[in-house]
Amino acid sequence: MIDGATLGARLRERDHSAAPAVLNLVENCTEGARGQTEALLAMLSPAAIGGEAPGHILGITGPPGVGKSSLLSRLVAQWRAQGRSVAVLAVDPSSRRSGGALLGDRARIEVDPRDQATFVRSTAAGERLGGLAPATRAAASALAVAFDVVVIETVGAGQSETDVADVADTVAVIVQPGAGDVLQFLKAGIMEVPDVLVVTKADLGPPAARALADVRAALASLGEREVPVLAVSSAVPPSGIEELLDALDRHRARLDLPARRRRARRMHALADFVAEYGERGLRALGGRRQAERWLVEEDPGLDVVGLRRALRARAGIG
C-alpha cells in the first residue's frame, strides 16, 4: 500500500515525480487506500504547510469539440516557457466496465514527455454526467502544493461547470463561434461560474468577432458581474494566449484565496461524504442545502479530513 504521509512529504519538497503515485492513491477506492488518502491530505493541509497551497488551481470547461485541449497545449507551453511547473487533470467520461477514465483528453494535449515539470493525467468523471469524482478534488488540492499551476479540464456537460467552480481558484469557460455555444451557455444558467470567458478560433475572423460581441452583449444585458471576455486562436501562429494568461493571473491576484479554498474544502468533504454514503447520508444531514449551510457554520478552518469526520458525526455515522 502506498504511504500517504510519505507522498505528502515528497510533494512538500516539490518532488514532481510523486504525482503519478498521488493519482494512483486517490483513485484507489479500497478501505486502506482511503485511510492513506486522508493521511496525504492531512500532511498537505494549510495547518501542516503553514498556509494555502501555492499552486494556482485553474478550471477549464466548455462544450465538447470547442478546442479546449488545443488551447491547453498552448497554455502549457507558455507556462513552461515562463518556468512554471504544470499538472493537468483531464476529466474524461468514466468507463462503464472499469470505472476509470477513457483517456481521450490526455491524448490530445501536446506536452514534452521528457519534461519532469509537466504532468498530464486523465481522470474519471465519476457517476454524474460531467461531474467531478472526489479523487479529482483530492488530486488537485494535493498537487497544488508541488506544482505552480494545476489545471482541471472538464467536458462541460451536466454537473461539470458547477463542480469545477467548487474546486478551482479561477474558472475559464470556453465557447466557439458559429456553433450555438453562446446561446447554450446562457440557457444553461451558469453565468455565475466563469471568472474568464474565452472565445476560441479567433482566426475565423468575422464569425469569431460576432461571437465575441454576442457574449459581451449577453453579459451586459444580464447585468452580471464584470467578467473578462477574450478571443484566442490555437492555430499557427497562435494569438491571444499571453493576454489570456495575464487575465488568469490578474484574477488570482485579486482573489480572496483563503475564503475560496475554505469553500473548496467544504465542497470536497461533502462530495466525499455523498460518494461514500449516498442519498441516505444526505437525508441524515437534512439534504444538500442544509448540509452546505451547516458546514459554513461548523468550519473553523478545518481541513478536508476534519470536515468529513464532522459530517459523519452530524449524520450519526460511526
Q: In what order do the strands lie in the sheet with 149-153?
A: 118-124, 86-92, 149-153, 56-61, 170-175, 196-199, 229-231
Residue 212 domain-assigned (yes or no):
yes
Residue 36 domain-assigned (yes or no):
no
- By percentage, how much of the chain surpasses pLDDT 90? 54
Q: Is the pLDDT of residue 101 over 70?
A: no
What DSSP line would sit under 149-185, residue for residue?
A: EEEEE---STTHHHHHHHH-SEEEEEE-TTSSHHHHH
Characterise 301 by phi-psi region: left (phi > 0), alpha (psi -120 to 50), beta (else): left
Q: Is the pLDDT of residue 270 over 80?
A: yes
Count of structural domains within the chain:
2
What DSSP line would sit under 209-259, residue for residue?
A: HHHHHHHHHHHHHHTPPP--EEE-B-SSSPBSHHHHHHHHHHHHHHS-HHH
Which residue in 175, 195, 192 sits closest to 57, CA to CA?
195
Kindly state the average pLDDT of the residues 156-181.
77
Residue 54 domain-assigned (yes or no):
yes
Residues 193 and 289 in one domain: no
Q: What is the pLDDT of residues 189-233, one digit of tens each?
A: 566 678 999 998 888 888 888 888 888 877 777 665 688 999 998
Residues 68 and 176 in one domain: yes
Kindly state the average pLDDT of the residues 166-193.
73
Within 8 A by CB and 6+ apart from 73, the residues are 108, 109, 110, 111, 234
Residues 191 and 265 in one domain: no
Residues 244 and 212 in one domain: yes
Please tell me the distance from the alpha carbon of residue 49 to that of residue 12, in angstroms, as a whole number: 8
Read off the pTM: 0.90
Select from 255, 281, 297 the last residue of a domain.
Answer: 255
pLDDT of residue 127: 52
Residues 73 and 166 in one domain: yes
pLDDT of residue 167: 93
Q: Is the pLDDT of residue 128 over 70?
A: no
Beta bridge partners of 233: 239
Residue 192 domain-assigned (yes or no):
yes
Q: Is the pLDDT of residue 188 over 60?
A: no
Q: Is the pLDDT of residue 312 over 90?
A: yes
3-state secondary structure of 188: coil
Select from 255, 275, 293 the last residue of a domain.
Answer: 255
Residues 97 and 199 in one domain: yes
Q: How confident is the model at residue 246 (pLDDT cuts 50, 70, 90)?
A: very high
pLDDT of residue 100: 42
Residues 113 and 176 in one domain: yes
CB 49 within 8 A of CB 12: yes
Residue 199 domain-assigned (yes or no):
yes
Residue 38 domain-assigned (yes or no):
no
Residues 288 and 218 in one domain: no
Select from 204, 230, 255 the last residue of a domain.
Answer: 255
pLDDT of residue 31: 86
**142 vs 157, more confident:** 142
Q: What is the CATH number of the domain that holds 196?
A: 3.40.50.300
pLDDT of residue 110: 77
Kindly state the average pLDDT of the residues 274-295.
92
Q: How confident is the model at residue 102 (pLDDT cuts 50, 70, 90)?
A: very low
Please tell me the distance from the alpha carbon of residue 253 to that of residue 29, in angstroms, as a whole number: 36
Instruction: Determine which of 32-41, 68-77, 297-306 has the lowest per-residue pLDDT on average.
Output: 297-306
Residues 265 and 142 in one domain: no
Give the domain extent around 118.
48-255
Residue 42 domain-assigned (yes or no):
no
Q: Is the pLDDT of residue 84 over 90?
A: yes
What DSSP line would sit under 80-109, residue for residue?
A: HHTT--EEEEEEEPBPTTTSSB--HHHHHS
Q: Which residue has the cell 485541449?
A: 69
Q: How confident is the model at residue 184 (pLDDT cuts 50, 70, 90)?
A: low
Residues 119 and 162 in one domain: yes
Q: What is the pLDDT of residues 104-122, one digit of tens each?
A: 444 467 787 888 899 999 8
Within 8 A by CB and 6+ apart from 230, the residues are 196, 197, 198, 199, 240, 243, 244, 247
Please tell me the distance from the alpha carbon of residue 294 to that of residue 292, in angstroms, as a whole number: 5
Please tell me the distance from the alpha carbon of residue 312 to that of residue 317, in angstroms, as a whole number: 5
Residues 210 and 123 in one domain: yes
pLDDT of residue 191: 63
Which residue in 119, 116, 88, 121 sits closest to 104, CA to CA?
121
Which residue in 65, 60, 120, 133 sits closest to 93, CA to CA?
133
Residue 39 domain-assigned (yes or no):
no
Q: What is the pLDDT of residues 37-61, one digit of tens each?
A: 999 999 999 999 999 999 999 999 8
Kindly state the average pLDDT of the residues 78-85.
96
Residues 235 and 187 in one domain: yes
CB 233 within 8 A of CB 200: yes
Q: Residue 97 is which amino acid?
A: R
